[in-house]
Each structure stands twice: as C-alpha cells, then as structure tokens.
Amino acid sequence: MKKRLLSAALIAAMSVSMLGGCGSSAQQAAATSAAPAPSEAAAAGSEETSPASSQPAASGEEDKVIKVGVVCSLTGGSAIYGEGAQNAVTMAAEEINASNPEYTIEIVNDGKLMDDATDAKQAINAYNGLMAFGPEAIVGCFFSSVTLPIAEQASKDGMLLLATGATNKDVTLKGDSIFRDCFIDPYQGKMAAQFAKEKGWSKAAVIYAKDDDYSNGLKDAFIENAEANGIEVVYTGECTTKDTDFSAQASQVVANGADFLFYPCFLDTVPLLVGAARNAGFEGAIMGGDGWDGADTSGLEAEFANCYFTNHYSSEDTAPAVANFVSKYTETYGTESLNACAALYYDAIYMLEEAAKNGGGSDSASLVKGMTGMTFTGVGGTFTLDVNGDPEKSVAINTYEDGQVKWLMTLSPSGEKE
C-alpha cells in the first residue's frame, strides 16, 4: 500500500470538520462520545510526571497551535519507557515553544501522556480519552501490539498518528495518515542477520514470544535474512511474554550446536533468558532488537558479555543532535530513563512542528500533507519517509561491558559501518 497525498476535497472536508470538533468520521464521533470527559481523561494520565510546558494560544492564533495527544506505557514492566517518553515530550515542547516558533506545541491532557498499559484494549481507551481533547495529531505507541489497533482507528478518523517504537511492518499500512519515526522489523531483522554474518557466526538459534507481534515480525525477518546470508538456523523455540523459565529452550540451543542466539523480545524477560542460556552452558553470542533497551543487568554483568542489540540511536554517538539531546536530558532528568524510546518521542514532537511548516497549517490534514515524504534530521539521524510513511535509517549496534551498554558500531541502510 502506498501513501498518497490526500485529495484536495478530503483535505478541505477534514479541515472543516477539525474546526468543529475532534474528528471527521462516524467512527471518530462514536469514539469521542464514548471517551471520558476531558477532566476524567486528564485524571487517567500519569500523576508522577510533569506536564509539558506549552504556550496558550491567544485569541485568533489557534491555527498556529499544534494540539498533540501522546500515548505510551506508564505502568508495569515497561514503565521506564513511558518515563522516558514523558520527559522527552516535555523537553521538546518546552524547547520549541521557547524558540519563538511559527507553530507552538500544546500537549493535551495537561501535558501528560495517556497510559496504554501495553494492552490493546487499554490502548484504545487511551486513544479515545485523548480524542476528547480534540488533538490534531497523536504520538505513540512504543509497542506494535498496542499501536496496531490505534492505527486502524486513527486511519478511520483521519487522525495523524506518528508511531514511535512500533516496528511491525503493518502499522503504517493501516492508512494514509499513519507514519512512524522508527525502522521496521524486516529492516531490523535484516541488520541483525548482516551483523551475525560479519562476525562469522554460522549456526543460529532463535527463541521468540509467539504471543507478541513485535517478536514474531523480528523472528521472521531474521530467519529469512539469516538463510539468505548462509547462516543455518539450527533451532527455533517458542515462549510467551509471561514466561519466566527458559531452561528448556536454552538446553535445546546448546544441544543443537548453535554459536549465536537471537532473542527478539522485550527488556523485562531479557535477564531471565540470558541467565538461563549461560546456566545451560551456552557461551556463544546472544542478540536482540531494540526491545532490549533498558534491560536490567544487575547481578548478571558477566553473563551479558558477548551480548548485543540493535537500536535506533546510541547515547554515545557524537553527532551534534544526539550530543545536545543527551546533555540536556541527562542534566534535567538523569540517565536512568535515557533510552531509545525517549529519543524517538523527542524526535516525533519536532517532526510535527516540521510537518506544520511543510503543510501550511496545524490541522490534521495539513499535518498529514506536511509529513508525507518528509526529510528530517534529529536524534535518530537523517531520513526520508518512504511511500508507506516509514524511514529507512541507520541502526546502532550496542554491546555490554561489565553490564553497561556500550556503543559498538552504527550500520548504514546498506549494511556498511558508518
């Protein structure tokens, strides 16, 4: 499915509808009527985070304000992502609004993110809650499984959705108003296989979470590209996102003679998997995707030697955009929540400002127009959105030293070291 510029008639229709309320479709009207009142929706936001600063619009200047709703995981094992996202969105909005811009940013819900709780039903509730505030764009989510249903509804509503860490390839195929600033799973899996080939690993094992869209997408992409690169996949094992015991799968990795283990799952189970693999006697390399970012290595520092993961950026990158972001974020919020999620949400707010300038307005239709085919430079590098609204961008490869994440290299889209 290719992205298309919205027709002039549709843009006009959307623009008129946006002046009257939250959306342009029957589905959106239904979602808004079912949503909590703004006061209730605001209460649903995180109470532990500070709201983003925005400049209230003066009378007659509403068309110069980009009203943005933001969704991320604020509770559970992935709360560290939501903390980083909240801080980054706040920081970006404050920076933009202090720069005397043509378009200012207003983060609705009093500047607070809505919690998707890494649950699809809760994600839709969060989306509906934000729609009660009449946003012109939604930023989020970080996980594919909760972004997919939001993308489908946003497309029906004609609402611009700028996904962040949702790497499942189907997200932007939901409609012309859906974009993202992260790479997609097929691309990430390809890079992981390319890295394995360059390191000389020839027998790969894969353990993936069968109940997770992200894990399935990365698994499929890695296996396809591993085989294309002459890497034999000697074992494929299943788990779930709720599993805590990986000893059976780890023993099979060893029994099948693998020298490389690919584990495309999220950070909460990564220490359990790594520990189980080392306990089973596996001494080979272990690698994951961007979902590893922020994994707790406490007490397992030695076990994480010879482990790697692909990511959207590295905080050690010396590029000016990265260095400035890392410096200010660290000074304001410390390093605990400084992760790729924070970087992606930060870039997303700046992309919306750029989209308004490109499209000539802050309404959803103008933002979609301005986002389509955009070339952008930010913390995640320089990239152009393709016909599906996806960026093809450089991939950072990180490793561990004494349990601390260390930047190893950055691979260009062609697979070459930068």
User: What is the value of pTM for the model shown?
Assistant: 0.77
Taking only the tens of pLDDT, the chain with its 418 residues reads 334 334 333 333 333 333 333 333 323 333 333 333 333 333 343 333 334 443 444 434 568 999 999 999 999 888 999 999 999 999 999 999 999 999 999 999 999 999 999 999 999 999 999 999 999 999 999 998 999 999 999 999 999 999 999 999 999 999 999 999 999 988 889 999 999 999 999 999 999 999 988 899 899 999 999 999 999 999 999 999 999 999 999 999 999 999 999 999 989 999 999 999 999 999 999 999 998 988 999 999 999 999 999 999 999 988 899 999 999 999 999 999 999 999 999 999 999 999 999 999 999 999 999 999 999 999 999 999 999 999 988 899 999 999 999 999 888 887 677 7
Query: What is the reported pLDDT for 72?
Result: 98
Query: Three-state SS string across the chain, please?
Result: CCCCCCCHHHHHHHHHHHHHCCCCCHHHHHHHHHCCCHHHHHHHCCCCCCCCCCCCCCCCCHHHEEEEEEEECCCHHHHHHHHHHHHHHHHHHHHHHCCCCCCEEEECCCCCCEECCCCHHHHHHHHHHHHCCCCCEEECCCCHHHHHHHHHHHHHHCCEEEECCCCCCCCHHHCCCEEECCCCHHHHHHHHHHHHHHHCCCEEEEEEECCCHHHHHHHHHHHHHHHHCCCEEEEEEEECCCCCCCHHHHHHHHHCCCCEEECCCCCCCHHHHHHHHHHCCCCCEEEECHHHCCCCCCCCCCCCCCEEEEECCCCCCCCHHHHHHHHHHHHHHCCCCCCHHHHHHHHHHHHHHHHHHHHCCCCHHHHHHHHCCCEEEECCEEEEECCCCCECCCEEEEEEECCEEEEEEEECCCCCEC
Query: What is the reported pLDDT for 8?
Result: 36
Query: What is the reported pLDDT for 88?
Result: 98
